[in-house]
Structure 1
Amino acid sequence: MPSRRTFLRQCGLALAASPVLSSLPSWLSSADGFESLRGGVGTFTQRGGTIGWLATPNGLAVVDTQSPDSAPDCWTGLQNRSQGPLSLVINTHHHGDHVGGNGVFAQHTDRLVAHANVPDLMRASAEDGAADDMTYPTDTFEETWSETVGNETLRLRHRGPAHTGGDAIVVFENANIVHVGDLVFNRAYPFIDVAGGADSKNWISSLETIHDALDDDTIVIHGHGNPEFGVTGGREDLLVMRDFLKALNEYVTQQRQAGASLEEMKQTEVLEGFEAFNFDWALSLADCIEAVYREQTTG
């Protein structure tokens, strides 16, 4: 099973590699990685988890920061979209491909917001000697948080452990856009960070709750995505992620009851109905099986 470090390195390389980016649909990708959605909200894709941004005449807000290498490109592009100050940065969770560029944006704002568990999770997952060099959230919340930037209200919600122990859902209320971070790997095998507090069963129920709170006009920004399906979509994508996690849990439970070993379980190459997940990507079904097996046998 890959460590957080291995996943973040592989994931960053996968998203930076030209074969992946060049295969993105033309409506999703652009030469500079920026895509506008509506209401001043858009995405930036380059290296790491999807960045969401809000650009208004009165200020900017950024959701996730990718890496120290890509964050400067994002900041430069945002300057072309608003001359307003950077009001705040939000981290959807603690993984390096979502917080690695914090230091770049912290040069332009003194407010970084995340769930209360994120600072400790960042410290725990830092490579040896690197914890002191990381840029941590300055503002944290337990369950909900909100603030207005320009004419947009951003609301954050934590629904318990899922992908990690500190996931935040970010709602752009007026635009009706939701950034769900890594709660959705859109038609891609997810990273289930057991060491970082993941809970795949609560992840399932969280996706159902979020889905029911949205409507058919909501645009959902995903943390990662299969190039064929992209990093934006609708609320139906949450149910695809839910269904995969349910099928994964059911598979591991059934195999354990049948007496199969973990190594035998990991020989399965695809779960029926989720063939689209099986593409050239940093994670495999075997990684997911092992994570859920660890949950079920050590929880």
Structure 2
Amino acid sequence: MRHALSALAIIAMSGTSAFAQRDFDQVEIKTTEVAEGVYMLEGAGGNIGLSVGADGAFVIDDQFAPLSGKIMAAIAEVTDKPVEFVINTHYHGDHTGGNEAFGEAGAHIVAHDNVRKRMKEPNILPDGSTAPPSPDGALPIITFSEAMSFHWNGQDIHVWHQSAAHTDGDAVIYFKDANVVHMGDLMINGGYPFVDINSGGVLSGYVAYYEKVLSKVDEDVKIIPGHGALASKADLESYMAMLNEVRSRIQAEIDAGKTEDEAVAADPLSGLNEKWGQGFISGEAMTRAAYKSLTAEHQADHDH
């Protein structure tokens, strides 16, 4: 199957437009306290991070526009303070769809420079179709290039972008005092990552993020992935080992002179797919994305 990326993944990237037919009425928002004053909210789309305290609510990602009311209600169950900041881990619609509603309610939207840039433009989806630009009210009004910090609710909250990985606008959010990290879609707990090549994604960019996070945290850290269950340091270590193995195996196929289809036919991720290939991204989709990314990186190196 050529288009091995799941329909759900394609829909998620496109934001609310492709989700018009979906019935959001059945979605319930689940709230889990992961550390004192820090929560993970799950619904449909990317996992949401939430910091509450005297200064006001600080939100990481906001899923789809039709869920904004439910998400706001779930936040109101935890705090009576308004949402002052929403930070996006990247631009995909299942993480930014609620921006407009939160912005209208008074929140300041924050993201990497490239998130604003991509949200302002039509974007090519994995199936080749095009998603329209985001509404002006959904755009980040504060952007950063490499790093920024918030000193909020008694927390030092560090945000950084190292390089292109999932997209070219990824951000990690680290609550140093609470010992919590939100990885965005740099980590899909229990499944292969989606390297969004059309959005500047680069397979080799992921590991540097993992190494930096692992250098900062202790054994008790709680990691909020972009999708999937709350994760531990050991989970992130095994995720990094998996991705290094994927890269090694696909590079071996490239070095052997195989075409992309020949590499897929060789089933190079056999033994990994049983654990990692059951989610958004199949083993074939991971193989194709890794092949495309690694060959593009090789070409870029030669061009320089």
TM above 0.5: yes
Deviations 1:37-68 (A, max 9, x none): 12211111111010011122431010001101
1:181 aligns with 2:179: no
> Structure 1 counterpart of 2:214, which letter?
H
Query: How far apart are the structure 1 equivalents of 2:288 and 2:110?
Result: 32
Residue 78 (1) aligns with residue 106 (2): no
Pick from 197, 214, 218: which aligns with 2:221? Answer: 218
**Deviation per CA, 1:249-298, whole angstroms, max 9, x where unpaired?**
1121211233333223224284435631132x332111111112112223
* 1:91/1:168 contact within 8 Å kept: yes
CA contact 1:59–1:87 (8 Å) conserved in 2:
yes
- Structure 1 counterpart of 2:170: 167
Q: C-alpha distance in 1, partners of 2:233/2:290?
A: 25
Partner secondary structure for residue 292 of structure 2 = helix
- Aligned counterpart in structure 1 of residue 245 of structure 2, from 244, 247, 254: 247
Residues 244 and 274, structure 1, Cα contact 8 Å, conserved in 2: no
1:89 to partner: Cα distance: 0.4
Deviation at 1:109, TM superposition (A): 2.2
Quote the sequence identity (%).
27
1-side partners of 2:263 and 2:72: how far apart?
Answer: 44
Question: Greater CA deviation, 123-132 or 188-197?
Answer: 123-132
Please give the secondary structure, in 2, of the residue aligned with 1:48: coil
Question: 1:166-200: CA deviations, max 9, x gaps?
Answer: 11111112211110111111120211011211121
Structure 2's unaligned 5+ residue stretches are 124-129, 298-304
Whole-Å separation in 1 of the counterparts to 2:6 and 2:59? 24
Q: State how far apart, in whole Å, the 2-side matches of 1:160 and 1:79 are.
A: 35
Q: Which moved more, 1:263-272 or 1:156-165?
A: 263-272
Q: Is the 8 A contact 1:181 1:223 kept in 2?
A: yes
AA at the equivalent of 1:251: R
Find the counterpart in structure 2 of residue 209 from structure 1.
212
For 1:140, the equivalent position in structure 2 comes to 143
3-state secondary structure, aligned to 1:69: helix
Aligned counterpart in structure 2 of residue 115 of structure 1, from 112, 115, 126:
112
Q: In the aligned structure 1, how far is the partner of 2:182 from the partner of 2:23?
A: 24
- The amino acid that maps onto 1:7 is A
- Provide structure 1 residue ranges, at least 5 long, that are not aligned to the other structure: 22-30
Q: Deviations over 1:125-147 (max 9, x none)?
A: 54454444561111011111112
Shift of the 272–33 alpha-carbon distance from structure 1 to 2, 3 Å rule, reads same
Matched ranges for 1:1-299 at <5 A: 1=3, 7-9=9-11, 32-126=29-123, 127=130, 129-132=132-135, 135-225=138-228, 230=229, 232-267=230-265, 268=267, 270-273=269-272, 275-279=274-278, 281-299=279-297
Structure 1 Cα separation of the partners of residues 65 and 98 of structure 2: 4
Give, in whole Å, the separation in 2 of the partners of 1:147 and 1:137: 16
Give the alignment's TM-score, normalised by structure 1: 0.84
